[in-house]
Structure 1
């Protein structure tokens, strides 16, 4: 059985509240879980100590027996000093998409055409 440490969503519509749970990775996100080891309330301020409440002892236990945390939970564990999270790199994330590149090229062509049209008019004025 593959075990994951992940978030299970609760709370009302537009008011999320998450439990940090240890669950079989094949079970539903909000379904059956093995143990609840903490909570996460994203509506609280980032510096509020109740935003993430985590039972460090149980988290250590589950990590030691091979439970795999999700990306978000790995951030919480890294902040608590329980598990080092490796830096992720996606160099193509910041690059513009195809359509944005096409629009930029169109703007450059229009700007170059406008500059070329303005340049002969200026040289004619200088000769006269």
Structure 2
């Protein structure tokens, strides 16, 4: 099963995350299939590729709870 989840980047106490598509068994910072966005909780900055995200969601990729929250906030998905 494929998941849409966050992959951590950045230094200690200065996290930034990439929104990635991975298999469910992959480690948090493991090999990714596709990168579809970026989120920084420190600066509240986010950038998502809405076209890629909707394509992956239509193909059955399951987002995590945090990703669903971020996508709703960016008006990419409605619920």
Same fold (TM over 0.5): yes
Structure 2: gaps spanning 5 or more residues: none
> Normalization by structure 2: what TM-score?
0.93
Query: Per chain length, whose mean CA-contact separation is higher, i.e. which structure has more relative contact order (CA < 8 Å, sep 6+)?
Result: 2
Q: Would you tell me which structure has more strand in proportion to its own residues?
A: 2
Larger radius of gyration: 1
Structure 1: gaps spanning 5 or more residues: 86-128
Equivalent residue number for residue 64 of structure 2: 70
Q: Would you tell me which structure has more helix in proportion to its own residues?
A: 1
> Normalization by structure 1: what TM-score?
0.59
CA distance in 1, matches of 2:15, 2:74: 22
Cα deviation code 1:48-77 (max 9, x no counterpart): xxx111000000000000001111110111
Aligned structure 1 segments of 4 or more residues deviating by more than 3 angstroms: none
CA distance in 2, matches of 1:82, 1:38: 12
